[in-house]
Amino acid sequence: MEDDPTEHTNDALSVWRILRENRDKVLAALREGRFIALHLSTWGFLDRFAAFLDQVGFFLSLEAFGDPRQSPSIHPFFFSIVMTFKTLLGYDSFNVLPTTLFRSTALLRLMGFNAMQIKEGFNQKGTVRPFDPDTLSQFLQSRTQTHYLRWHTDVVSLWRRRKLLTGTFLMDCIYIGVESDRYEKIGRQCDKDDGQLLRKGYKVVCLVNLLPNHKLVAVAEMVFPLTVPDLTCGKTLISYVLRTQRSGFIKDLVMDMGFLDGAWLHDLKTRYHIDVFIPVKENMCIVADAIGLARYERVVWDTIRESPRREIALFTDLTTWDAAKLPLSCCLVRDTAPDG
């Protein structure tokens, strides 16, 4: 709303102003930062999510993030909170912070900055207030993977105490490609035939929790050079999670074929009581065993989709995978094309 120059005087002591809507002027004022505070009529997702983080103690957990710097002028909490909102708002670069997040006085106040920090900044480095994005970048570069893992472990322990997680987890690897050779510890993947470089970068193994509403929440990640095998990445991550969260945290683990290893699956089941669901390779004996049972025995096929038709059959006590050294259950999938 904006002021209208028309004024109506009711008496000598009261002055009334007529307000009219002017959307363009309001938006222009917001873009230029010409406002004291922002009060929304309704809560959006970010508001509710920020309240949720506060309720479960997420912001308090940032205190344990640590700081290796000597006599820092900016507490690491402010770096962590800026990174949190940068991610929530979808900003993919530090360079956009001065013209986006740092332009919103109201949002900075909600994030914990006081008026002096917003106006004057924490120090005289650069011209950006409350601090220069380069300072944030330098702080993050001073952190090692161990620091992030320890902090994330504390957060997950907090979630467990709040009973926010289930016992079902999924693990997979994702790839981060880079163009420059200046990055540290990158891996290079080359073609086996002609040796031509296919890609270079990193591999990130992620463990996520499957919530009752089918949403996923990440509970642990590790970064490796791109050429490290998936199985090595997965074993390292699961070993760390089981060591820090202890037995009973993971009850069901869904993985893809890259983590296929009978001896490891045997160890997960017998030592940690983890049930694993994983696809097997087409040339393995256990696949032929299951197909043979489906052909020559009375097997019940359950239809889970009509068009195109998909059916599944369940088998138990299969023992033809010697490396696993366990009786296994198998879900066999049969698809029927539209032409039959």
Q: pLDDT tens digit string along 311-330?
A: 999 988 888 888 888 999 99
Compute the half-sphere exposure of residue 86: CA atoms within 13 Å on the CB side of its CA: 19
Q: What are phi and psi of 21, to 5 degrees?
A: -80, 135
pLDDT tens-digit map of 205-242: 999 999 998 999 999 999 999 999 999 999 999 999 99
The class of domain 165-277 in CATH terms is alpha beta
User: Range with the lowest mean pLDDT among 30-34, 116-120, 200-204, 333-337?
Assistant: 30-34
Fill in the DSSP letter of residue 337: -
Domain ranges of the chain: 45-141, 165-277, 280-340
pLDDT tens-digit map of 161-197: 889 899 999 999 999 988 888 888 888 888 778 888 8
Q: Which residue has the higher pLDDT, 302 or 183?
A: 302
| pTM given for the model | 0.74
Considering only CA atoms, which of 191, 188, 322, 178 is closest in space to residue 262? 322
Tokens of 127: 């011209």
CA distances in angstroms from 91 to 98, 134, 136, 137, 203, listed in the order given: 11, 16, 14, 14, 22
pLDDT tens-digit map of 251-273: 999 999 999 999 999 999 999 99
